[in-house]
Structure 1
């Protein structure tokens, strides 16, 4: 085992280039004779497109092309597909309207692309855009779930009656009704899971290039899954054979789900490059990202929990309306269904659960995955109900959780999933101890002396990661397999190159994957190179999302490395004149058991490329590929504890302490795990207190820049206390569960629970996210006014 292998807090290898400014992002690339694209986007939420007068724009200096939806239609390009088919509870398939890359006939949200201008320079393209004239006939719009679901509401799509994309259900309605019939108390709550704008540090960008001599296309793009982008381009939108299309995602500066979808701009730069015979590049402006990148969350939920006299959970009903936006993005239909409704059991032995999800079209930016993708929404529902049940029964919030925790594994939930392993009591106990839960009332009393309202909140959650297996998700409507591939190439000098089908947008894969190989082969981590993000170098892969990279991609890597070891052992046995069964790999050396005879890994690697030293019948070389299709999801879990102080005069909420104890399975690199948890918790706090994407009644985006959309800053955050407790996943070779999203899943309910606790003496039972100063101030004033009546 290498000293810098699994379990070591190795400094991230990739940071050597990132921290010195040597990273290579899509916008850093310069192609010979490159041109620049600018998109003209709709200023209306819903309108019929009339004439597009482009003569002045075409005549502007430097302009090479002005392209519209009519040009796309004439070239018979395909629509942007969605990757998941959902059926309604009556068995009918979801409404699946077309999604052209440039709007045709109608625009359906502010920011819908109408025309593409290509010019010699970026400024020339923008200046020409101002000369393009588009006649719009404005139509009635629905910008919120409430508007879209109102009787007689204007339709986003004629084929989606009532603006309903699908009406899904999961669980046993009859069993749930029976559970509610015998309940001592039913606790109910209406919840908002606020719409979020991802805001990765690196905006989306794409460069398309066409080689007239070979007919080959190359796309450089800020994607979390270049192979899937190539597949969708080849099979649906662009219609180019995959062997003629290379997709490269170089360094990617953050994604959090927003760089999963196949976006219109990726196809359009390739299409324009073929038309003008030169590379075409585009980088989004930050304001453009607000109205073109897929948004996250946006649920309205009514939830009811049936309990007995002791607070034992008997049944759960959840009715959710989920906003899809104007079009179906790549993974959008799966998020409120199989990534949300399936997690409503949480950590608890609730015997009967029934969930209904209505997916609704609105005249807004499409909604897709955002860190956690459905699981934060589910955890928020379950944890807020647990708090409320405790309050209405007069039971301690911690005690009601203990009474209902799942305590035996494997555990089959009433909503499809089977948890393989966990210990929710251990993470809870450790978090309570580290957060000094028992002495909180002392801190509350001290805060009162300063005129502050102090509250404490708790969240115990379960997540499902590593979406799998392919046969299951295929039966549930997935239009792609969710396995992963890995290749391991050992060079004659003993260094190793790893080819992985997953992709990194900041998680540290180049380090953790190298640690896995170093651990298995007993070589230094710096001897391992990790290659990802280029479809010309990696046979296939499904990218990174859903905290799948280690559990799925890492497991494929383990399988490939095991093949390397098996072949290398044969070579070593031949060199050592020993039986293969007597040869062991220990600390980077192949050793004959019970003797001092050994060959280093490097010596065996060199022999692999010298065939006259080979055992008979063995092929030269030392390179192996493996695919891994998971047997089940993995199920990280944990406990988050948050303390806040509220200034009653301003409504300002300050997070003063945050404790995290997560079970993410076996840990490859504890430093990277801590960093992932820090980032996720920060995004969860952002959702709970600060972030909210808003549209007005006409569908205009009110929070369309960082002037109106508040992101968390360092001054908004405390120092986090992070711990882990390990129960290994039982069905993958690493025992890993996933860590990338846990912070964003556990944090929101803990924060809002703390806010409600701080306001409990005023009779407040719930606060919607985001708990902004204005919202909290109004709640305090309203509660004070009621108390005087």
Structure 2
């Protein structure tokens, strides 16, 4: 059977999702308030570490409209387990008990100590202020390096240490590589804590079902299936009795890739009261109680020859866990282990990560989780190596890139990258930005003593996207998203319904999945309805994160649609009294190839399949098919990002003049969606590089508790992004696609910081930590000049 080339895949079709969102007709969790709803608020600890001496709820319970004020001890019988860690990276990892509401002790500012239920949100907020908690302060630890010192205060005394785990990896003869090197360069780079700032904070509504005795939970989450499965287990609710729905979700960025205490509380309180329970997070709560990102101290070393060839690399990390282990906390830093070697080809590599507890908000996934941190470190040290050798930073990189490959290739970290042509991508970026001309302009400005200097920064990266497979890959067991599920069915009228296990929160699945199915079945994308984010409609799924949706979920849709088309072809052959091998399928119509005889449309086939009056013997009615896709490997998108900054050496002020990004995510389904994902990711990486930092005082009290203190970039801080692509298809899936959702956040922060340092390197500045604020840059310049003020 023949079929025409794609008509819709590869086109920038307008997003189906946007009309409702742009006209204010979206449905957010906070829009949902069933009759008789009880509003929940959480009493949060104002101190980072203390024993709870007592809780007096008398005044709070007297507030009109208040129904319950409950403590951790009051709710102990509602749970069979605490909030779980889903990624124990070693067998001897230390996992502290994590109650949904603290019992006996609080371990970070924002730790919940009591919960209020009231008939109105206002009454619940008023009552929170009247709950009196007696705190017996304990010493707190904030710095991850200090936390491992002998005699440091213990976050969890019962563990006897702040050391959570140590995870090592080594390939090749690292000692020999460093012993025979002409040059060894070392660097210490910090990944500051950052806070995801989605437009929509977290929210949850749980409604007891009037029939059947179950519960429906609406929650602003990236992972409705994880929420269902984990809450069913810890709250002793059969998973068949818990329906989880993710309505419109206003951004996630990893912070909504979790199962939180508030979701568990809302569920057990709805069960306890028999009434709907609703909680909506305030922005200040978000800064305290929603997971933070990053939080690492990175110690890097590379061994190289005098002509710039890398021989070996050592990575030693300290990773801040915060006070508890959330769903993926310990695995985030470990996940980066496989990409600290970047795009570079050398023979020996070692990695060691130590997880450390502190009295701070727990950390977890944040866009580019693990891979962004890795790219930042390897690109910073590539610039440091170039300075040590007196070479151009681009030239050092070009000398160490892997050669082109279109089949899996082993890399220094021991895993298999799927495909790549790194030099083509990098040279395209260099050409687009006009690299040689920029270097000439930089030299002219330095000669003239212009106070505003030009910096050029490169951010090369690859990332392990398409989180998979479920099995061991390349001899290394990786925590992964695994398989993904899809169902495609044609209705009696010839329309198409797609059920996907992925759960979008801005990625455009309704549009992209419709394009995929439209091409496979020869229909119009407008006739394809994509259903998602509801565990009753899509009972099987692994959700959306880690640049996996298209490569795993979209491929499952592609393959399910192929099954539908194959069945339709058998029915069409029966209806046309022809052999299926003689049929061609073009523009949604089956006909005998090379003839002008009668044909049948796939919509007509769908109708015949539904009526079932004239089907081949033994064939079941209806055009419908399921597929679970479990790929053999991750996908490894890659790119080169180049940032050009103007730095005022008198004030330290940084302005991004140009930003060029060339990315390779395999074949593109919708180029406009790809560009949108890159715009958002690059903005997020620029935010970390120049503006964002979740800070605490020495005692563990947050000093960036609101958006007035925590700076995120605005449109005026960003340049126009100049984007381009190369295409290196992935062999891991039949569509040849890779991920793109995190790439912008991975390549951008090293490109920006390298550019800032490059602008002032001639003044003796070789290091600036993120965020490179004007004050930080000004201080670095003053220090390089030997001036203390």
TM-score range, shorter chain: over 0.9
User: Pairwise CA RMSD of aligned residues?
Assistant: 1.7
Distance (Å, rounded) in 2 between the aligned partners of 1:2 and 1:23: 35
1:414, distance to aligned residue in structure 2 (A): 2.8
Matched, 1:65 2:61: no
Structure 2 alignment gaps of length 5 or more: none
Following superposition, the deviation at residue 399 of structure 1 comes to: 1.2
Match of 2:386 among 374, 384, 390: 390
**Distance between the aligned counterparts of 2:151 and 2:695, measured in 1?**
23
Q: Return the offset for 1:610.
A: 1.5
Indicate the SS of the match to 2:472. helix
Q: Shift of residue 162 of structure 1?
A: 3.4
Does residue 343 (structure 1) correspond to residue 339 (structure 2)? The answer is yes
1:83–1:480: 8 Å Cα contact kept in structure 2? no
Give the secondary structure class of the aligned counterpart of 1:298: strand
Deviations 1:144-164 (A, max 9, x none): 213312221011113444301
Assess if the C-alpha contact under 8 Å between 1:521 and 1:588 holds in 2.
yes
Shift of 1:333: 1.5
Query: What do residues 21-52 of structure 1 show as CA deviations (whole Å, max 9, x unaligned)?
Result: 11111111121211211110000100001111
Report if aligned partners of 1:290, 1:705 keep a CA contact under 8 Å in 2: yes
Q: Note if contact 2:415-2:473 (Cα within 8 Å) is conserved in structure 1.
A: no
Question: What residue number does 2:750 align with?
Answer: 749
Residue 503 of structure 1: how far off its partner (Å): 0.8
In structure 2, C-alpha distance between the alignment counterparts of 1:47 and 1:473, rounded to whole Å: 44
Residue 676 of structure 1 aligns with which residue?
677
Residue 611 to residue 267, structure 1, CA distance change in 2 (3 Å): same
Q: 2:23 aligns with which of 3, 20, 23?
A: 20
Q: 1:210 Cα deviation (Å)?
A: 1.5
Check conservation: 1:83, 1:479, Cα contact below 8 A.
no
> Within 2, Cα distance between the matches of 1:574 and 1:160?
69
Of the three residues 279, 302, 311, the one matched with 1:282 is 279
Deviates more, 1:195-204 or 1:142-151: 142-151
Q: Secondary structure at 1:460's aligned position in 2?
A: strand
Per the TM alignment, residue 481 of structure 1 is displaced from its structure 2 partner at its CA by 6.0
- Using the TM superposition, give the Cα deviation of residue 600 of structure 1 relative to its aligned residue in structure 2, in angstroms: 1.3
Contact 1:4 1:525 in 2 (8 A): no
Shift of 1:239: 1.3
**d(CA) in 2 for partners of 1:662, 1:481:** 23
* CA distance, structure 2, for counterparts of residue 212 and residue 531 of structure 1: 24
Q: 2:230 aligns with which of 226, 229, 232?
A: 232
Structure-2 residue corresponding to 1:422: 420
CA distance 1:753–1:481, shift in 2 (3 Å): closer
**Counterparts in 2 of 1:414 and 1:23: CA distance versus 1, 3 Å:** same
- DSSP 3-state at the match of 1:340: helix
Instruction: Judge which range, 610-619 or 108-117, deviates more.
Output: 610-619
* 473-482 vs 543-552, which moves further: 473-482
Distance in 2 of aligned mates of 1:4 and 1:45: 58
Contact 1:212–1:277 (CA<8 Å) still a contact in 2? Answer: no
Whether 2:24 is the aligned partner of 1:11: answer no
Q: Would you say the 8 A contact 2:458–2:750 is kept in 1? A: yes
- Decide whether aligned partners of structure 1 residues 473 and 74 sit closer, same or farther in structure 2, where only a CA change above 3 A counts: farther
Cα distance in structure 2, aligned partners of 1:117 and 1:779? 49
* 1:31-110 equivalent positions in 2, closer than 5 A: 31-87=34-90, 92-110=91-109
Hey, what's the Cα distance between the residues in 2 that align with 1:400 and 1:178? 22
In the alignment, structure 1 segments of 5+ residues that lack a partner are none
Task: Say whether the 8 Å CA contact 2:141–2:699 is kept in structure 1.
Answer: yes
Q: 2:396 aligns with which of 390, 395, 400?
A: 400
State the secondary structure of the residue aligned to 2:465: coil
Counterpart in the other structure of 1:552: 552
Going from structure 1 to structure 2, the CA distance change for 1:478 and 1:423 (only over 3 Å counts) comes to: closer
TM alignment of 1:256-271, pairs within 5 A: 256-271=253-268
Task: Give SS of 1:776's match.
Answer: helix
1:327 corresponds in structure 2 to 324
Question: What's the secondary structure of 1:543's corresponding residue?
Answer: coil
**Matches of 1:31 and 1:353, distance apart in 2:** 56
CA distance in 2: counterparts of 1:684 and 1:558, whole angstroms: 32
- Per the TM alignment, residue 342 of structure 1 is displaced from its structure 2 partner at its CA by 1.1
CA contact (8 A) 2:188 2:299 kept: yes
TM-score (ref. length: structure 1): 0.97
Aligned residues: 781
Question: 2:416 & 2:687 partners in 1: Cα distance?
Answer: 31
Counterpart in 2 of 1:125?
Answer: 124
* 1:280-321, Cα deviation, whole Å (9 max, x unpaired): 101100011000111000100111000011111001011100
